[in-house]
Amino acid sequence: MADYVKMWENLGMDLETHDLLCQVLPTAVGDVFMTQENRPKAMDFWDLVISEVHGIRPAELIEEQKKGRKVFGTFCVYVPDEVVIAANGIVTGLCGGSQFWVPGGEAVLPKNTCPLIKASVGARLGRTCPFFRIADMYVGETTCDGKKKAYEILGKDVPMYVMDVPQMKREKDILKWKEEIAEFAKKVEEFTGNEITVEKLADAIRLVNEKRRALKRVYDARKSENVPISGRDALLMMQISFFDDPARCAQMCNRLADELEQRNRDGVSVVPAGTKRILLTGTPLAVPNWKLHNIIETSGAVVVCEEMCTGTRYFENEVDETGTTLDEQFMALSRRYMKNNCACFTPNEGRIDDILRLAKEYKADGVIDCSLKFCNLYDIEKKAVSEALKQAGIPVLSLETDYEDSDAEQLRTRIEAFVEMLNN
C-alpha cells in the first residue's frame, strides 16, 4: 500500500478517525468479494481501486488540480457530466454509502433522514473522505426534500451550486431542464475559466456515450442464461464508474465485457445452473454499500440486474450526437437526462415499465424492491411496483433497510424465504 498519509493530511482530513475507517474496509472487501469463486479476471482493476479507494483516484485528482483543472462533486445522475467535461473539469460522485458517516450526519440532520444523505453530510463534515475534501465545487439538485435541505448545510462549508430539477416530464419541463443545463454551463465556464464550445461539448457527449455503451455491454452480458459475473462484482464496477476517469472506465468495462462475452460463449457461470435470478430495484447503492447483494448472493440467489441509479439508470439512453449548436446540444442533453425515471418525478410510470422490461430482458425469476429507510418517495412507489409485478405474474419482495448491520438477519430471513418460494 502506497503511503497516502501526507496527502490526507494536506487535505485537512481527520486522520485518527479516518484510520478507523481504513481498518474496517479491507475486512468488508475480503468478506464480500474475495470469498467468491471463479471471478472474472478483469475484476483485478476494480479490486485494486477498491483496495486503495482513498488513495489511487484521489491522488490522480490532486495531480489534475495542480494542472489547474477543477473537480466537481455530484450526488445525482441528473447532473450532466458532459457540461463539466466540456470545460475540462472533472466529475466525481460523492454519495456516502457507509454507516461510518451516519452519526456525523445525524449531528446536524434529523434522525429520520435517509442514510445516504446523512452519510454524505457526515463524510463532509467529519473530514474522513478524501473525495469530499478534494471537490472544488459541489453540484446539488432539487430532487428529494432531504437532499435539498442537506445542500443548504453543505453550502456553508463548501462552494455549492444547485440545479433545479423539474418535478414532471411535460415538454415544458424538458425545455426548463435545458435552460437549467445552459445556466449550469455558464457557471462551470466561470468556475473553470474555460469556454464551452460546440466542438468541446460534442467531444464530451461522445466520451460519455462511449462510457455508457461500455457499461451497457457489461450489463448485456448479464442477460445470458449462464451467469458470467456475480451481482456483487457488477455492482462494484458500477459504483466505481462514478469516480473514475470516463475514458479509462469505458476501456476497463470493455475489457471486462470481452471476458464476460467469452464466458457466455463457453457457458461459464459463477453460480450453479438453476440459481434464481434477481432483479434489484429501488434507491441507489453508494459505495461501500454491498449489504443487500451480499445477503442475496449468500442466500442461494444471484443478482442479475440493478434498476437503480447505481445500475441501468446510469447508462441507459444515449445523448443525441448530431447537435451543431450549443442550444441543440443542451436540448439533446435535456432529452436524455429527462428519460431517467426517478421517484422524485410525478407521475413515474416509466419506472414501472422499465422494471417490467428489465425483468424480462434479464430473465429474472423474481424482483426485490428495496428502499433506504426514510426515503418516502421510493417507499411509496413500492405499492405501485409490486402491484404491477404481481399483475405480470412476477414474484416480488419489498424491503426497507439502512446502512446498519443490525437488521441483516431479518433481511436474510425474508430473502431466504423469497428464494425458497421461487424454488418451490
Residues that bind ligand SF4 (CB under 6 A): 76-78, 114, 116-117, 143-144, 146-147, 283-284, 309, 340, 342, 344, 372, 375, 377-378
For the bound state, the minimum distance from the C-beta of residue 410 to another protein, rounded and expressed in Å, comes to 7
Q: How far apart are CA 344 and CA 128, in angstroms?
A: 29
Contact at 8 Å (CB) between 219 and 315?
yes
Nearer to ligand SF4, 275 or 348 (CB): 348
391 near another protein, rule: CB under 8 A: no
Nearer to another protein, 18 or 276 (CB): 276
For the bound state, the minimum distance from the C-beta of residue 137 to ligand SF4, rounded and expressed in Å, comes to 18
Nearer to ligand SF4, 299 or 310 (CB): 310
206 near another protein, rule: CB under 8 A: no
Nearer to ligand SF4, 176 or 200 (CB): 176
For the bound state, the minimum distance from the C-beta of residue 121 to ligand SF4, rounded and expressed in Å, comes to 11
For the bound state, the minimum distance from the C-beta of residue 424 to another protein, rounded and expressed in Å, comes to 5
Nearer to ligand SF4, 33 or 378 (CB): 378
421 near another protein, rule: CB under 8 A: yes
For the bound state, the minimum distance from the C-beta of residue 417 to another protein, rounded and expressed in Å, comes to 4
Q: Among residue numbers 399 through 418, which ones bind another protein (CB under 8 A)?
A: 400, 407, 409-410, 413-414, 416-417
Nearer to another protein, 174 or 422 (CB): 422
Binding-site size for another protein (CB under 8 A) equals: 14
Contact at 8 Å (CB) between 396 and 366?
yes
Site string for another protein, 371-390 (x = CB under 8 A): -------------------x
Q: Which does 77 bind (CB under 5 to 8 A by kind): another protein, ligand SF4, none?
A: ligand SF4
Binding test (CB under 8 A) with another protein, winner from 143, 224, 254, 398: 398
Contacts of 78 (CB under 8 A, 6+ apart): 141, 143, 163, 165, 337, 340, 342
Residue 60 burial (CB < 10 Å; 0-12/13-18/19+)? middle
Q: Among residue numbers 325 through 344, which ones bind another protein (CB under 8 A)?
A: none
For the bound state, the minimum distance from the C-beta of residue 76 to another protein, rounded and expressed in Å, comes to 27
For the bound state, the minimum distance from the C-beta of residue 100 to ligand SF4, rounded and expressed in Å, comes to 17
Q: Which does 421 bind (CB under 5 to 8 A by kind): ligand SF4, another protein, none?
A: another protein
Q: Which does 289 bind (CB under 5 to 8 A by kind): another protein, ligand SF4, none?
A: none
Contact at 8 Å (CB) between 98 and 29?
no
Residue 303 main-chain phi, psi, to 5 deg: -85, 125
Centre a 10 Å sphere on the Cβ of residue 288 and count the other Cβ atoms it contains.
Answer: 22
Residue ranges binding another protein (CB under 8 A): 390, 395, 398, 400, 407, 409-410, 413-414, 416-417, 420-421, 424
